[in-house]
Amino acid sequence: MSKNKILVFIATYNENLNISDLFFDIIKISPDYNVLIIDDNSTDGTKEILEKLSATHTCLTVIHRPRKMGVGSAHRAAMIYALKNEYDQLVTMDADFSHSPGTIPQMLEKLETLDFVIGSRYMKGGKSDYEGYRKWVSLIANKLARLTLGIKIHECTTSFRAFRVSLFNNLNLSAIKSNGYSFFLECVYELKCVDAVMAEVPIHFKDRFHGNSKIPKTEIFRSMYKLAYLFRSRFYKKQTQLSNPAEIKTSCYFCKSQCIVEINHEDTFNDIAGAQAYKSKSLEHKSKPQVVNCLVCDLSFCP
Ligand SMILES: [Zn+2]
C-alpha cells in the first residue's frame, strides 16, 4: 500500500514562545510529516524563528504574509496549498499547544475511511479548559450549530481537524467567505452540504501554554451572525457561480502563489458580490472580467 502524503498546518501571529517546541513535537511523531506555517507578519520574533527552522528543516515550508489577513484566510490558503501540492491528508491545529500533537495519529487513522475528522471537546470523553464566558459561549455556539444546521457532530468550532485533501475538489473554497474565526463553523457547514463523511475524536482542549488568546470578543457576535446566516441558507441556498480554486490554474502575478480564490465570476457583475469585487456599488456595467484574489499577498487581479 502506498504511503499517504501528509501535511500539518499551523497559522501563527506572535507565537515566539510556542512555535519552535510545537514544530519539534510534531516532527517527532513521524519523520514523514511535512509542516506548513503561515505567519501573518508577527512582530515578536516568530518570523525570525521560522526562518531559522525552515533553513535547517526541509520538511518545513513557511509562508509570510504582509499583514494580519485573518485565521480563516490562512486556513483556506493551507487547504488550497495542500490540494495543489498533491497531499493526501491535511491536519490543521492551533499554534499555542491547546491541541496536543499526540492526537494526530489517531485522527489520521480514523480519516483512512472518512472525509473529515475533528478534535472534539464536547463529545463523550472530550474536555475543555475554557473558563467563564468563553466556556459558555463556545458550548452554546456548538449546541446551536448542531440544532440549527443539522450537523451530526458535537464540535464545529475548533481548528484541530484532519481532511482527505481530494475532498477540496468538491468543496468550493472560493465560496467560503469568512476570514476570521467564524470560518471554522462555516467550513463544517459547507462540508455537510457536500455530504462529507465526518467523525470526531475526543480531545482535552488546554488553555494556551504561553501568551494571550487571539480571539477578539467581536468574533463572538460575528459567529452568532454567521450561524443565523447559515441557518437561513439551509432554506435559501444561494448557488454560487464562483470557480472552485481546484479549477483555477493561474498563479499570483506578484508572489507566484497558487493559493488563489475567485471573488467575481466573469458574468456575475449584476449582483452585489460582483460589485464588491470591483469596490464599486454601481451595477451599471453588467459585463466585467473574472477577478481572483491571492490569499498570500492579498493582490486582487484579472487573470
Ligand atoms: Zn500573491
- The ranges assigned to domains in the chain are 6-233, 245-301
Cell of 66: 504582509
Q: Are 261 and 172 in contact (CB under 8 A)?
A: no
Residue 303 has pLDDT above 80, yes or no: yes
CA 27 – CA 22 distance, rounded (Å) = 9
Q: 90: helix, coil or strand?
A: strand
Centre of ligand 1 to C-alpha 12, Å, is 18
**How high does pLDDT run on average in the chain?**
87
- For residue 23, what pLDDT is reported? 97
* Position with higher pLDDT, 66 vs 302: 66
What's the whole-number mean pLDDT along residues 152-161?
A: 93
- For residue 241, what pLDDT is reported? 78
The single-letter DSSP state of residue 53 is H
Residue 148 has pLDDT above 90, yes or no: no
Centre of ligand 1 to C-alpha 10, Å, is 19
Centre of ligand 1 to C-alpha 71, Å, is 17
* Position with higher pLDDT, 121 vs 240: 121
Q: Are 275 and 283 in contact (CB under 8 A)?
A: yes
Centre of ligand 1 to C-alpha 264, Å, is 17
Residue 303's Cβ-count burial label (10 Å; 0-12, 13-18, 19+) is: middle
Instruction: Quote the Cα angle for 32-198-126, to 5°.
Output: 85
Give residue 134's pLDDT band: very low, low, confident or very high (50, 70, 90): confident
What's the whole-number mean pLDDT along residues 14-37?
A: 95
Residue 274 has pLDDT above 70, yes or no: no
Q: 291: helix, coil or strand?
A: strand
* Position with higher pLDDT, 198 vs 3: 198
Task: Enumerate residues 6+ apart whose C-beta is below 8 A from 281.
Answer: 275
CATH architecture of 6-233: Alpha-Beta Complex (3.90)
% of the chain exceeding 90 in pLDDT: 60
Centre of ligand 1 to C-alpha 168, Å, is 21
Task: Provide, for the chain, the percentages of residues in helix, strand and coil under a 3-state DSSP scheme, each rounded to the nearest 5.
Answer: 35, 15, 50
CA 74 – CA 11 distance, rounded (Å) = 6
Residue 38 has pLDDT above 80, yes or no: yes
- For residue 266, what pLDDT is reported? 64
Give residue 40's pLDDT band: very low, low, confident or very high (50, 70, 90): very high
Of 71, 55, 59, nearest to 14 (Cα)? 71
Centre of ligand 1 to C-alpha 300, Å, is 8
What's the pTM?
0.89
